[in-house]
Amino acid sequence: MHSPHLLLRFGVISAILVAGLGLTAGLALARSIRTRTIADAVRSAEVLADVGIRPFVSPADVLGDFVPLTPNRQAELDNSLGKSLSANAIVRLKLWNRQHWLVYSDKAELRGRWFPADDVLNKAFTGRTESNVTDLSKPEELEERDFGRLLSVYVPLRVDAKRTSFTSDQNATVVGAFEIYLPYQPVADSIRSDTLGLYKTLGAGLVVLYLGLFRLMQSASRQLRRQAAQNEHQALHDALTQLPNRSLLRYSIDQSIAQAKRNGTVVSVLLLDMDRFKEINDSLGHQLGDQLLVKIGERLQQRVRTADSTARLGGDEFAIVLADLAHAADATLVAEDLLALFEQPFEVGTVMVDVRPSIGIASFPDDGANADTLLRHADVAMYAAKHAHTGAEAYSFDADHYRPERLDLAADIRRAIAADELVLFYQPKLDIATRRITGCEALVRWQHPYRGLLAPGEFMPVIETTELVKPLTLHLLDQAMRFARDVRIAGHEIHVAVNLSARNTVDLRLPEQVAEIMSRYQLPCEVLELELTESAVLENPKRARDVLEALAALGVAISVDDFGTGYASISYLTQLPISSLKIDRSFIHDVTTNPKSAAVVSFSVALATSLGLTVVAEGVEEPETLLELERLGCHQVQGYLISKPVPAAEFMALLNQPHYSTRIAVKATP
């Protein structure tokens, strides 16, 4: 918007500069023309003196003491010089000797007179031809005033060594000088004519130069405006899809929030991340992968309203800003429509590609008051949707493991490990057949110095997203195996289960580290059982299988936790070295009253038994539940009916009870 103004400023300033340049150059060149023209006139006078005057003058006329020329000599000079003077437009001729006597002049009244020394004449006596434009103010010029301004030229007269003739030798002695008066008006006319021609040529050239510069500047200005527009577009748009990028998206969010504040409406940010896109990209190649991203962007744009914004944030991540919504729930409906939009495969080259997103939703004003907060919360919700395989999730404050206060806990975890603040509680596993404790699950607690005893749900979800989970797991494994050693020394044979996170299952160093811990406490690897959930294997199944097989080769038992709540647990029973499975508490708590839960448990027990696996039911709280699980063929149980998780000393006390079954107010069989 400022470019025309800047161009006008350039036009005015450049015009002033060019005019100034022209004036300066014109004056300098005019001076040069005047100097050159006068110099040409002087050279002409010199030639005239050498050719038309000097041959008729004798050295005797100017040598020695002044003696007026005789009338005959004067007549002779008048006769010989008269025609030359008139033919060459000489206004006046004077012949000076070194004593400033005017020896001869074509004006008879001036002959034989003496005049005071003149600077120009004295310079001529030094051997240089001198000239000046005279205003006829000198005494000897009184007779010439009727002629106007004249150009007077002083030409030195030199004699040879014998002093018998004049010579042009520059080293010869100067004995006098010719003073030749020429009309200045022809010289002035020539100067004026040449100067005028110069000004015309210079002016025309400067006008062409100015127009050329202005045209060049105008063209450069247009090019700069185009380049600036391109740069602005590139700075605010994704180069591949031409959709707005993160910077423009943030601006759109803030603008929509400002409007929503005025209208009392809602703004929702939807963050979309394509599931398994890396596999698709690796299979198709990056070129076709880029084409797929372009088609995804086009399909998203076709779905949203004109008032909404679609952006690509990078990689396979897109975002949509839904402006001026009546309710935050409307964003969930849009997310469901977007998921349906991906039911139709994409045609990429000659291949039909099926791709689906996970969508996170965050809304103003409930989930944030600015673009950065909404984007971060939408990202949290998107990962929740990805891990839960639900397609779309709205942001939940309680499920946000990345809140500052939780991140503070993560930053404090290293100190907590070193200070031995992370301790294990142990929950017994009861063998149904013998009614005796045969194992336990180690569950971490944080004895925080300021916040008291923290349950794992308050810090583990954050820790599991960082590399800190690896040293934490090794710390807990070491603590659990130290406890297992103490239990064995006390005369009890039990196995201890420790939970693994997703990062642990892909850590190729874990089997070696486990073997080192078991060797340190001189325990057989069969004492250790490692529990993992389905989600811990999903991110990299092949690598997880390699790690788990290496652990199983050591003799470590592998257990599937929360069985029945995932999508791929059954297939894992045949693909992974599983030794037991735990039926999720969601099926156990109503197994005596809900036929569907009983059917799931019955199926799980039958499946596991046929595969030679041990079945553990968690969350047992009622004696009737224990009897029903016994009837269905379950092998082990754990839950508050047996004991809540307790410190190591209390667990040891439980083991030392001779008849644990007396604590359960039912018999083994009805």
Domain ranges of the chain: 14-190, 246-394, 404-658
Query: Domain 246-394, CATH 3.30.70.270 — does that match?
Result: yes
Rounded Cα gap, residues 37 and 168, in angstroms: 24
pLDDT for position 1: 43
Rounded Cα gap, residues 243 and 251, in angstroms: 14
Question: Confidence class of residue 249 from pLDDT cuts 50, 70 and 90?
Answer: confident
Q: Which of 14-23, 202-211, 394-403, 435-444 has the highest mean pLDDT?
A: 435-444
Query: What are the pLDDT digits (tens) for 586-598?
Result: 889 888 999 888 8
Residue 143 pLDDT exceeds 80: no
What whole-number percentage of the chain has pLDDT above 90? 24
Rounded Cα gap, residues 450 and 170, in angstroms: 113
pLDDT for position 239: 79
Can you say how many angstroms the Cα of residue 632 is from the centroid of all Cα atoms in its chain? 64
Query: What are the pLDDT digits (tens) for 327-339?
Result: 888 889 999 999 9
Q: What is the mean pLDDT of residues 225-250?
A: 76
Question: Confidence class of residue 399 from pLDDT cuts 50, 70 and 90?
Answer: low
Alpha helices in 304-342 (DSSP H): 329-341
Is there a contact between 214 and 11 (Cβ–Cβ < 8 Å)?
A: yes
User: In angstroms, what is the C-alpha Rg of the chain?
Assistant: 56
3 state SS of 134: strand
Query: What are the pLDDT digits (tens) for 462-488?
Result: 777 777 888 889 999 999 999 999 999
- Lowest-pLDDT range, 60-74, 392-406, 519-533? 392-406
Assigned CATH topology for domain 14-190? Beta-Lactamase (3.30.450)
Average pLDDT over the chain reads 83
Tally Cβ neighbours within 10 Å of residue 210. 18
Is there a contact between 664 and 627 (Cβ–Cβ < 8 Å)?
A: no
What whole-number percentage of the chain has pLDDT above 70? 88
Query: What are the pLDDT digits (tens) for 598-615?
Result: 888 898 899 888 888 999
Q: Which of 12-26, 163-177, 222-236, 528-542 has the highest mean pLDDT?
A: 163-177
**Beta strands, E only, 22-63:** none
- Lowest-pLDDT range, 153-162, 195-204, 561-570? 561-570
Can you say how many angstroms the Cα of residue 375 is from the centroid of all Cα atoms in its chain? 20
User: Could you tell me whether strands 392-394 and 357-364 are parallel, antiparallel, or unpaired per DSSP bridges?
Assistant: parallel
E strand or H helix at 3: helix 3-48
pLDDT for position 662: 42
Query: What are the pLDDT digits (tens) for 160-170?
Result: 888 888 888 88
Can you say how many angstroms the Cα of residue 654 is from the centroid of all Cα atoms in its chain? 63
Q: What is the mean pLDDT of residues 100-104?
A: 88
Burial of 238 (0-12, 13-18, 19+ CB in 10 A): buried
- Lowest-pLDDT range, 182-191, 467-476, 534-543, 603-612? 534-543
| Residue predicted with more confidence, 305 or 536 | 305
Residue 439 pLDDT exceeds 70: yes
Q: What is the mean pLDDT of residues 98-127?
A: 86
Q: Characterize 295-323 residue by residue with b for buried, 16 or more Cβ atoms within 10 angstroms of its Cβ, and e for exposed.
A: bbbeebeeebeeebbbbbbeebbbbbbbb
CATH number of 404-658: 3.20.20.450
Neighbouring-strand partners of residue 452: 448
Q: Which amino acid is at 219?
A: S
pLDDT for position 139: 61
